[in-house]
A and B are shown apart, each in its own frame.
Chain A
C-alpha cells in the first residue's frame, strides 16, 4: 500500500519542478520590487521536533504560535490510506478509502523576509513515520533553491547520535541540491544548562558540528529564547546574508553624519533584526536593539488586531527625538537625534531623500533587482 502511495507522489513530482505560486503579500509591505514569477529562494529552518523551531519563528517573525496541527494530523494520518500533498496551498488533504476528504495544515510557513527569501520549517527526524516518508520522498524538492539552512539542536537532547545522523543526511541533501547554501547551526535551549557550563558545552558541540559538516562550512551559535542570544544569532545570520553590507554601512554613516543623528539603525522589515547601524557616541544599553525590535513587533501585533499596519513612529521628549520609518522595500530605519531643537519635518525630509538613494543601492546588483539575491 505504501509503495503505491509513494509512486503516486513520485508521479506528481515528475511533472517537473514547480515554481512556487504567487503568495500573498506579508502584512505591512508596500510594493515589491520583484516580479512575482522570480524564483524564491528558501531559508530552511530544520531540526528535531520539539527543538523549539516554532517558538523561534514566532518570536523572530512576530507570528502567533500555530497550534500543533502537524502532530494532530500525523496520528490521524497513520490510519488513513492515501494522501495528497498540495504544498502550494500548504495544506494537505486526506482521502480515505471511502473517498472523504479532510484537510490539514502542514507546518509549512511562507514567511517572507530579506527581500525574497521564504522561510520553511521542517521537522527532521521526528517520531512519526508520515512526516519521515513525506520528507524522504520530497527531499529534492525541499532542498532545492535553498539560500540558507538553519539547523536547530536541542542542547538537552539525549539522542546525540541520532541528531547528528539526521543533520548529516540534511547536509547530504544540501550538497546535492543547493551546494552554495550557507549553513548555520543553532544550539538551542541553552538556558536549561547551568551558567558556568554553557561555554564548555557549546564549545564541544561546535567542534563536533564543524567536524561533521566538512566539506561544507557551518557557523554555530548558542541560543535561548530567554536571553539576547537568539536575537544576536539571527542578526548575525541576517548580516551574513547581505552581500554589500560594508557599502551599506558606509552610506549609513554618511547619512547619519549629514543629518547630525546620534544613531541610525537599519532594520529588516519583517523581523526588525538589525542589519546595520551607525552610532556616533557610546550608547549605554547593549540590549537596545533587541528591546526596540520586541517593542515594535509587539506594536505591530496590536496594529494587526485592528486591521491596521504599522508604518512609522516618532518618539520625542526634551532630551531626544527618535524616528522609525519605512525606508526601502526591505528595510526600516530608525534615526535618533539628541538635538531636540531640530524640527521633525527636517529629519523626515532627510529620511525621505535618503530613501531614494538607498533604494538605488539595493538595486545595484542588476537584473535580479533585490538586495539579497546573488
Chain B
C-alpha cells in the first residue's frame, strides 16, 4: 500500500506549482520503500492455490477495489475527503482478500480479536475441551474428601482455577512492547522467565499430556477388558456372579475392591459350553494381557504424521459425557438417594463429611479444570472479544455444574446399606459389573472416544517435545518410534502395576497445575504489576497465597 507519509509531503506544495515539472525533490526514499510500494505486490497467502476452486471476483468488485486503492493515493491519511463511505464498502461478511489476478479468498486467519464464533459456540468449545476422563473419578474424589467437603471443594476449585484462567487470558496484554497476536501461554512464560520458563513450561505441559495418555491407556484396557468379557459372557450365556460384594437386584452395583482381592476362582454359574472360561480368563486379563493387546492397535495410530483424521471424532467426547449423564440419572432414579451425615467418624457404610484425604480431590480437580495451556487459542475465535471473560466464566460454571451433578448423584445414589460408600471406585463405571448393559454401552462409547483422542494427545506430545528438542516435529521415524514406545511403555506398565486412575490423575494434575494454574499466572501478574509500579500489598499477599496453595496441593498428594 502507498506510503502515505511521503505523499503528504507533496500536499505542502501550492496547487499552482503542481503542474510545473517538480524537479529533483528532496524526498528520502529507501529501497525498501520501493519494494513495499510495488503496485502489484501480492502477498503469497493471497494467491489461492491452483487446486482450490478459486472464487473469482466480479468485475464490478474488482473495479471498486481498484478505485478505492487509487483514491487512497490521492489524499493524505488525515484527510477524510476520499475515504470510502460505509454504504459503498461491502459488509464485513462479504469481504474477501482480493488478488489482482482476479481470484478471491475469504479471510482465513482471524486477526487479533475478530473470530467468527458466537459466544455459545465458544462456551461449548471450552466445555468440551475441559470435559475429560477425570469426570469418572469425581465421585471417588468426593468420597475421599467427604460429601460436604467435596462439594465445597469442587465449587472453590472451580472459582480458583477460573481466576487463574482469567490471569492467563490477561497475561498477553501485559506485554505491550511485542506483538503477541500469535502467542500462547508458554510463549508468555518464555518472555517473562527466559529459557527456564520455556523449558519448564514444556516439561509441565508434557507431564499433563503423558499423564493423560497413561490414564487413557489404563482406562482403555479396563473398558476393552469389560467389553470383551461382556461379549464372551453374552455369547456363551454365562451368568457372571463373581464373589464380589454386590446388591441384590436386577441391575447390581458391585464393590470390586472389597472382599479378597480379585476373584481368581470365580464361582460362575456355568452353562454347557463353559469349558473355555478358564482359558478365556487366562488370555483376557485386565492387567496382564489386555494392555498389551492395545499396543498392536494404538502404536501404529501414534505414528501418523498428522492427526487431522482423528480430530473429526471430537464429537464422540460430547456424546460420551451426555450419555454418562443420562446413565447416572437413570441409575440414581432407580436406586434412590442414600445419604447420611456423619461429620467426623466413619461408620460401617458411610464416610465422614470431612476427611483428611481431601487433597486427593483437589489434585483430581486441578486436572479436571485444566485448560490453561490452550485457553488463549480457544478464546481467539470468539466473535465478541469483550465477552471473553464472561464466556469463560459461563463455561467454567457449566463444567462445575456437570462435575457436581455426576459426582453428587453417583455418591448420593450409591446403595449404601448393602455396600459401603468406601466402595466407590476410582473409575465409577467399575462399580457396575461387566454384564450391565447400560454401562457396557458407556464403555464402548468411551473406548471409541479414547482410541481417537489418544493419537491426538500423542501428536501434541510429539510436537512439543521433539519440536523443542530437535526443532522438527518429525525428525525421523526412529525418533518418533522411540518416543512412542516410551509413552506406550509407561501406559502399559501403569496398567499392569498401578491401574488406579484416581492416583495418576491427582499426581499429574497437581504437578502440571502447580506450574500452569498456580505459579505462572500469579507470578506473571505480580511481575507485570511491579513493572508498572502498581503492586499493592493485598494483591501480592493474595497471589503469593495462590502459589503456596499450588505447592501445598502437590506436596499433599504425596502425604495424604
Chain A interface residues (CB < 8 Å from chain B): 23-27, 54-55, 58-59, 62-67, 69, 89-91, 105, 107-112, 191-192, 225-228, 284-288, 290-291, 294-295, 297-299, 301-302, 304-307, 309
Q: Given A63-B74, A64-B10, are A291 and B63 also a contact pair (CB < 8 Å)?
A: yes
Tell me if B22 is interfacial: C-beta within 8 Å of chain A: yes
Instruction: Let me know if B63 and A228 touch, CB within 8 A.
Output: yes
Binary interface profile of B, 1-39, with partner A (CB < 8 Å = 1, else 0)? Answer: 010001100110011111111111101010000000101
Task: Give the distance in Å from the alpha carbon of A109 to the alpha carbon of B19 in the complex.
Answer: 9
- The 7 sampled A-B contact pairs (Cβ below 8 Å) are A27-B21, A59-B70, A89-B16, A109-B16, A226-B64, A285-B62, A287-B60
Quote the shortest CB–CB distance from B550 to chain A (angstroms).
59
- Among A26, A62, A105, A291, point to the contact of B15 (Cβ < 8 A): A105
Quote the shortest CB–CB distance from A62 to chain B (angstroms).
7
Question: Quick one: closest A residue to B29, CB to CB?
Answer: A306
Chain B CB within 10 Å, residue with most, of A91, A286, A305: A305
Question: Quick one: closest A residue to B34, CB to CB?
Answer: A306
Instruction: Let me know if B59 and A65 touch, CB within 8 A.
Output: no
Give the total of B residues in contact with A, Cβ under 8 Å. Answer: 42
Ranked nearest first, the 8 interchain pairs of A and B with the lowest CB-CB distance are: A24-B20, A287-B63, A294-B70, A90-B16, A226-B88, A66-B15, A285-B59, A298-B70
Q: Give every chain B residue within 8 A of A112 (Cβ-Cβ).
A: 19
Instruction: Let me know if B7 and A64 touch, CB within 8 A.
Output: yes
Instruction: Let me know if A59 and B21 touch, CB within 8 A.
Output: no
Q: Give every chain A residue within 8 A of B66 (Cβ-Cβ).
A: 290-291, 294-295
Chain B interface residues (CB < 8 Å from chain A): 2, 6-7, 10-11, 14-25, 27, 29, 37, 39, 59-60, 62-64, 66-67, 69-71, 73-76, 79, 81-82, 84-85, 87-88
Instruction: Let me know if A105 and B73 touch, CB within 8 A.
Output: no
Quote the shortest CB–CB distance from B552 to chain A (angstroms).
66
Quote the shortest CB–CB distance from B13 to chain A (angstroms).
8
Quote the shortest CB–CB distance from A47 to chain B (angstroms).
16
- Among B19, B24, B69, B87, point to the contact of A27 (Cβ < 8 A): B19
Quote the shortest CB–CB distance from A39 to chain B (angstroms).
18
Q: Give every chain A residue within 8 A of B63 (Cβ-Cβ).
A: 228, 287, 290-291
Q: Give every chain A residue within 8 A of B2 (Cβ-Cβ).
A: 302
Instruction: Let me know if A65 and B75 touch, CB within 8 A.
Output: yes
Chain A CB within 10 Å, residue with most, of B7, B27, B66, B87: B66
Instruction: Let me know if B59 and A286 touch, CB within 8 A.
Output: yes
Task: Give the distance in Å from the alpha carbon of A362 to the alpha carbon of B85 in the complex.
Answer: 42
Q: Give every chain B residue within 8 A of A298 (Cβ-Cβ).
A: 39, 69-70, 73
Task: Give the distance in Å from the alpha carbon of A309 to the alpha carbon of B24 in the complex.
Answer: 12
Task: Give the distance in Å from the alpha carbon of A290 to the alpha carbon of B17 in the complex.
Answer: 27
Q: Give every chain A residue within 8 A of B25 (Cβ-Cβ).
A: 307
Q: Given A90-B15, A284-B59, are A55 and B82 also a contact pair (CB < 8 Å)?
A: yes
Quote the shortest CB–CB distance from B98 to chain A (angstroms).
13
Instruction: Let me know if B60 and A107 touch, CB within 8 A.
Output: no
Task: Give the distance in Å from the alpha carbon of A291 to the alpha carbon of B14 in the complex.
Answer: 29
Instruction: Let me know if A305 and B84 touch, CB within 8 A.
Output: no
Instruction: Let me know if B74 and A226 touch, CB within 8 A.
Output: no
Quote the shortest CB–CB distance from B324 to chain A (angstroms).
56
Quote the shortest CB–CB distance from B306 to chain A (angstroms).
35
Instruction: Let me know if A25 and B21 touch, CB within 8 A.
Output: yes
- Among A67, A89, A191, point to the contact of B11 (Cβ < 8 A): A67
Quote the shortest CB–CB distance from B455 to chain A (angstroms).
45
Instruction: Let me know if B74 and A59 touch, CB within 8 A.
Output: yes
Q: Give every chain A residue within 8 A of B73 (Cβ-Cβ).
A: 298, 301-302
Instruction: Let me know if A24 and B19 touch, CB within 8 A.
Output: yes
Quote the shortest CB–CB distance from B97 to chain A (angstroms).
18
Task: Give the distance in Å from the alpha carbon of A196 to the alpha carbon of B207 in the complex.
Answer: 65
Q: Give every chain A residue within 8 A of B81 (Cβ-Cβ).
A: 54-55, 65
Task: Give the distance in Å from the alpha carbon of A54 to the alpha carbon of B18 in the complex.
Answer: 15
Question: Quick one: closest B residue to A309, CB to CB?
Answer: B21
Q: Given A25-B21, A27-B21, A105-B15, are A65 and B62 also a contact pair (CB < 8 Å)?
A: no
Task: Give the distance in Å from the alpha carbon of A302 to the alpha carbon of B19 in the complex.
Answer: 16
Instruction: Let me know if B70 and A108 touch, CB within 8 A.
Output: no
Q: How many A-B residue pairs have CB under 8 A?
A: 125
Q: Give every chain A residue within 8 A of B29 (Cβ-Cβ).
A: 305-306
Task: Give the distance in Å from the alpha carbon of A107 to the alpha carbon of B16 in the complex.
Answer: 9
Q: Give every chain A residue within 8 A of B84 (Cβ-Cβ).
A: 226
Task: Give the distance in Å from the alpha carbon of A301 to the alpha carbon of B39 in the complex.
Answer: 11
- Among A110, A288, A291, A304, point to the contact of B22 (Cβ < 8 A): A304
Q: Give every chain A residue within 8 A of B88 (Cβ-Cβ).
A: 191, 226
- Among A24, A105, A225, A295, point to the contact of B71 (Cβ < 8 A): A225
Question: Quick one: closest A residue to B84, CB to CB?
Answer: A226
Quote the shortest CB–CB distance from B36 to chain A (angstroms).
12
Quote the shortest CB–CB distance from B73 to chain A (angstroms).
5
Given contacts A108-B16, A298-B73, A305-B7, 12 further A-B contacts (CB under 8 A): A58-B75, A59-B74, A64-B74, A65-B76, A65-B82, A91-B16, A108-B15, A225-B71, A284-B59, A285-B62, A287-B59, A294-B70
Task: Give the distance in Å from the alpha carbon of A54 to the alpha carbon of B15 in the complex.
Answer: 12
Task: Give the distance in Å from the alpha carbon of A220 to the alpha carbon of B275 in the complex.
Answer: 103
Task: Give the distance in Å from the alpha carbon of A304 to the alpha carbon of B62 in the complex.
Answer: 25
Instruction: Let me know if A307 and B69 touch, CB within 8 A.
Output: no
Q: Give every chain A residue within 8 A of B60 (Cβ-Cβ).
A: 287
Task: Give the distance in Å from the alpha carbon of A66 to the alpha carbon of B11 in the complex.
Answer: 7
Task: Give the distance in Å from the alpha carbon of A273 to the alpha carbon of B344 in the complex.
Answer: 94
Q: Given A112-B19, A284-B59, are A294 and B79 also a contact pair (CB < 8 Å)?
A: no
Quote the shortest CB–CB distance from B4 to chain A (angstroms).
11
Question: Quick one: closest B residue to A89, CB to CB?
Answer: B16
Task: Give the distance in Å from the alpha carbon of A253 to the alpha carbon of B87 in the complex.
Answer: 41
Instruction: Let me know if A64 and B19 touch, CB within 8 A.
Output: no
Task: Give the distance in Å from the alpha carbon of A64 to the alpha carbon of B59 in the complex.
Answer: 27
Task: Give the distance in Å from the alpha carbon of A112 to the alpha carbon of B75 in the complex.
Answer: 21
Instruction: Let me know if A58 and B74 touch, CB within 8 A.
Output: yes
Q: Give every chain A residue within 8 A of B15 (Cβ-Cβ).
A: 63, 66, 69, 90, 105, 107-109
Question: Quick one: closest B residue to A91, CB to CB?
Answer: B16
Q: Give every chain B residue within 8 A of A89 (Cβ-Cβ).
A: 16
Question: Quick one: closest B residue to A227, CB to CB?
Answer: B64
Question: Quick one: closest A residue to B102, CB to CB?
Answer: A285
Instruction: Let me know if B10 and A305 touch, CB within 8 A.
Output: yes
Question: Quick one: closest A residue to B8, CB to CB?
Answer: A64
Q: Give every chain B residue within 8 A of A290 (Cβ-Cβ).
A: 63, 66-67
Instruction: Let me know if B23 and A307 touch, CB within 8 A.
Output: yes
Q: Given A91-B16, A105-B14, A305-B29, are A295 and B39 also a contact pair (CB < 8 Å)?
A: yes
Task: Give the distance in Å from the alpha carbon of A225 to the alpha carbon of B85 in the complex.
Answer: 11
Task: Give the distance in Å from the alpha carbon of A309 to the alpha carbon of B66 in the complex.
Answer: 21
Task: Give the distance in Å from the alpha carbon of A108 to the alpha carbon of B22 in the complex.
Answer: 19
Instruction: Let me know if B67 and A63 touch, CB within 8 A.
Output: no
Quote the shortest CB–CB distance from B88 to chain A (angstroms).
4
Task: Give the distance in Å from the alpha carbon of A296 to the alpha carbon of B19 in the complex.
Answer: 18
Question: Quick one: closest B residue to A26, CB to CB?
Answer: B19
Task: Give the distance in Å from the alpha carbon of A24 to the alpha carbon of B20 in the complex.
Answer: 5
Task: Give the distance in Å from the alpha carbon of A62 to the alpha carbon of B39 in the complex.
Answer: 16
Instruction: Let me know if B67 and A105 touch, CB within 8 A.
Output: no
Task: Give the distance in Å from the alpha carbon of A89 to the alpha carbon of B37 in the complex.
Answer: 35
Instruction: Let me know if B22 and A27 touch, CB within 8 A.
Output: yes
Q: Given A110-B16, A307-B23, A307-B24, are A299 and B10 also a contact pair (CB < 8 Å)?
A: no
Q: Given A64-B10, A284-B59, A286-B59, are A226 and B19 also a contact pair (CB < 8 Å)?
A: no
Q: Give every chain A residue within 8 A of B59 (Cβ-Cβ).
A: 284-288
Quote the shortest CB–CB distance from B24 to chain A (angstroms).
5
Question: Quick one: closest A residue to B70, CB to CB?
Answer: A294
Quote the shortest CB–CB distance from A59 to chain B (angstroms).
7
Q: Give every chain B residue within 8 A of A294 (Cβ-Cβ).
A: 66-67, 69-70
Q: Give every chain A residue within 8 A of B76 (Cβ-Cβ).
A: 64-65
Instruction: Let me know if B71 and A299 touch, CB within 8 A.
Output: no
Task: Give the distance in Å from the alpha carbon of A227 to the alpha carbon of B15 in the complex.
Answer: 27
Instruction: Let me know if B85 and A110 touch, CB within 8 A.
Output: no
Q: Give every chain B residue within 8 A of A297 (Cβ-Cβ).
A: 70
- Among B19, B21, B64, B87, point to the contact of A111 (Cβ < 8 A): B19
